[in-house]
Amino acid sequence: MIKNLFTTRVGAHVWQMDTEDSDIDLFRVFVVSTPDLLMGKANVHSEFVQKPGVDLSKHEISSVATQLAKGNINFVIGVLSPSVIKTGPAHQALKHVVSHNLSKNCYHSIRGMSEHNWKLHIKSGWVNEHECNKIGRVLQFGVTLLETGKVDFKPFSGGTMDSLKDLFEKLDKAYINSTLPEEPDKEALYAWVYGVRVWEWGLEKYMGFKQKMFL
């Protein structure tokens, strides 16, 4: 048994760059049953589901904490996305931890993902403003994060190969000069996982007791 904790929109919608043809990209976080976890029956692996017009990524809380500790920008965006479909106390607590715990190590994820997409589009010969804008918005996000320690999901337009080269250089410079810590406080992230598991276990025991009372 799993409990879905929160779901946010990512992709074009979070940057306010969606069009009528844009797919809906969703980021969902769930927690597995504590007894199932302790007995080794729980599936804590991430799952990616594609349906017409909707791409959904689902992640268990342990994976979320691990990826955030590594600076995976997709998870930072998923947690802090302002486009929220479902939220709750666990989400709000994690948003607080992440937003007050940003670090320089997200640079590697931002640059790696952007460079991969850059090379992919050049190799395929499919380079246009739309594709450049998709890369540019992430680079711009990274520059702001490293320079200010804050997140800003600002749309990006007018992307060209030259403007992306400038953004790569700005990202590298921002990383070198950033005053953020090298890595996030991993203990804060794992404390969040512990708190959610304790809450889930307590809720499960309470519901079991409640059901017995009404048998």
pLDDT tens for each residue of 46-71: 999 998 989 999 999 999 999 999 99
> What residues of the chain score a pLDDT lower than 50?
206-215
Q: Among candidates 1, 67, 59, which has minimal Cα distance to 34?
A: 1
The predicted pLDDT at position 168 comes to 97
Note the helical H segments in 71-185. Answer: 73-80, 89-99, 106-124, 129-148, 161-177
Domain ranges of the chain: 2-90, 106-177
Q: Which CATH number fits domain 2-90: 3.60.21.10, 3.30.460.10, 3.40.50.300, 3.40.50.620?
A: 3.30.460.10
Q: Find out whether 122 and 134 touch, Cβ atoms under 8 Å.
A: no
The predicted pLDDT at position 204 comes to 58
The predicted pLDDT at position 131 comes to 87
- pLDDT tens string 182-206: 999 999 999 999 999 988 887 655 4
CB neighbours of 149 closer than 8 A, spacing ≥ 6? Answer: 102, 179, 180
Question: What are the distances in angstroms from CA 76 to CA 49, 150, 204?
Answer: 20, 12, 29
Question: What are the distances in angstroms from CA 61 to CA 28, 101, 112, 192, 213?
Answer: 10, 17, 24, 9, 31
Compute φ and ψ for 45, nearest 5 degrees.
-80, 145
Whole-angstrom distance, CA of residue 21 vs CA of residue 126: 18
The predicted pLDDT at position 214 comes to 36
